């Protein structure tokens, strides 16, 4: 998927929620809020295209009052990212004290948060996670190629939004289906098939995926980052 809504070609909600998480990390690492600890979570809610809620849950040291936590997180993390809070309900640590975190409190991360890795809850997902899979697995490589195709359709002015869907079967070299639509539901499949080869080996070769380039995908999603081959804009 890709959209011209933001310079990252991602939905605004996805960009904002990652920005909140990055800001939370930055403030903690630079000791701007001295009692912050590493575990945390951010969430953005849009209703009918309007930002209505912002949530930050963050681990903290013992003995910090919840009122102080909400005030500091709101002023130093949420407000700078959202450029104000008009019409936005702010939730900070809504369950109360968050002292115990990390593996002591929550284990079993492999395969979780597949929507966080991609486009949030706005776009459907094939169901397979990315992390831990080599690039012969189309769960990962074909998702990258679909992003590459969608982004270039939008970047070259063929659509404002583009959704690319692909289906595979074990033992078949060619995908069973390559489908693409724009923001009005018009088919872009022929254009995608003309410019992008979705056979697994062709994906690996075109995106040059046999390289150690995946460290930055471990945080803040797999899309919208400079330097990743599926984010490159080409002339079509």
pLDDT tens, residue by residue, 195-222:
999 999 999 999 999 999 999 998 999 9
How far is Cα 26 from Cα 36, in angstroms, rounded to an integer?
11
Query: 165 and 90 in one domain?
Result: no
How far is Cα 151 from Cα 145, in angstroms, rounded to an integer?
10
Task: Calculate the average pLDDT of the chain.
Answer: 94
8 Å CB contact between 220 and 18: yes
Cα separation of the two ends of the chain: 17
Whether 192 maps to a domain, the answer reads yes
Region 150-174: what's the mean pLDDT?
A: 97
Query: 97 and 47 in one domain?
Result: yes
Query: 7 and 97 in one domain?
Result: yes
Q: What residues contact 185, with CB distance under 8 A and at least 6 apart?
A: none
* Tokens, residue 75: 């002023």
Whether 111 maps to a domain, the answer reads no
Whether 222 maps to a domain, the answer reads yes
Query: 96 and 132 in one domain?
Result: no
- pLDDT of res. 105: 82
The CATH number of whichever domain residue 166 belongs to comes to 3.30.300.10
Whether 109 maps to a domain, the answer reads no
Helix (H) or strand (E) holding 56: strand 50-60
Whether 114 maps to a domain, the answer reads no
Query: 193 and 164 in one domain?
Result: yes
* Phi, psi for residue 210 in degrees, rounded to 5: -85, 55
Instruction: Among 77, 104, 131, identify where a domain stops.
Output: 104
- pLDDT of res. 110: 66
Whether 92 maps to a domain, the answer reads yes
Query: 134 and 200 in one domain?
Result: yes
How far is Cα 160 from Cα 144, in angstroms, rounded to an integer?
19
| Structural domains counted in the chain | 2
Instruction: Among 79, 104, 129, identify where a domain stops.
Output: 104
With CA atoms as reference, report the closest residue to 179 among 193, 191, 169, 164. Answer: 164
Q: Count CB neighbours of 74 within 10 A.
A: 17
Whether 236 maps to a domain, the answer reads no
Q: Which residues pair with 165 in a beta bridge?
A: 179
Query: 170 and 137 in one domain?
Result: yes
Q: Which residues pair with 182 in a beta bridge?
A: 162
Query: 227 and 126 in one domain?
Result: yes
How far is Cα 118 from Cα 129, in angstroms, rounded to an integer?
10
Query: 124 and 227 in one domain?
Result: yes
Is pTM beyond 0.85? Reply is yes
With CA atoms as reference, report the closest residue to 112 among 14, 20, 41, 200. Answer: 41
pLDDT tens for 97-156 read 999 988 888 776 666 788 889 998 888 888 888 888 889 999 999 999 999 999 999 999
Query: 128 and 73 in one domain?
Result: no
Query: 202 and 135 in one domain?
Result: yes
Whether 134 maps to a domain, the answer reads yes
Supply the range of the domain harboring residue 37: 2-104
Query: 66 and 136 in one domain?
Result: no
């Amino acid at each position: 998927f890709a959209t011209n809504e933001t310079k990252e070609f991602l939905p605004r909600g996805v960009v904002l929620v990652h920005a909140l998480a990055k800001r939370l990390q930055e403030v903690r690492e630079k000791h701007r809020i001295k009692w912050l600890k590493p575990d945390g979570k951010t969430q953005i809610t849009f209703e009918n295209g309007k930002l209505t809620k912002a949530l930050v849950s963050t681990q903290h040291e013992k003995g910090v009052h919840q009122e102080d936590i909400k005030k500091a997180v709101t002023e130093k993390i949420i407000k700078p990212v959202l450029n104000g809070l008009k019409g936005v309900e702010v939730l900070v640590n809504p369950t109360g004290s968050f002292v115990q975190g990390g593996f002591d409190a929550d284990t079993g991360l492999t395969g979780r948060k597949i929507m966080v890795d991609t486009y949030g809850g706005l776009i459907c997902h094939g169901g397979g996670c990315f992390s831990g899979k080599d690039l012969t697995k189309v769960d990962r490589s074909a998702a990258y190629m679909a992003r590459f195709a969608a982004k270039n359709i939008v970047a070259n002015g063929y659509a404002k939004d583009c959704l690319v869907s692909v289906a595979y079967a074990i033992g078949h070299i060619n995908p069973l289906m390559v489908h693409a639509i724009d923001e009005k539901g018009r088919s872009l499949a022929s254009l995608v098939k003309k410019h992008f080869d979705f056979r697994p080996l062709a994906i690996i070769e075109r995106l040059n995926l046999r390289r150690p380039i995946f460290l930055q995908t471990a945080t803040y999603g797999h899309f919208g980052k400079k330097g990743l081959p599926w984010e490159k804009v080409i002339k079509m």
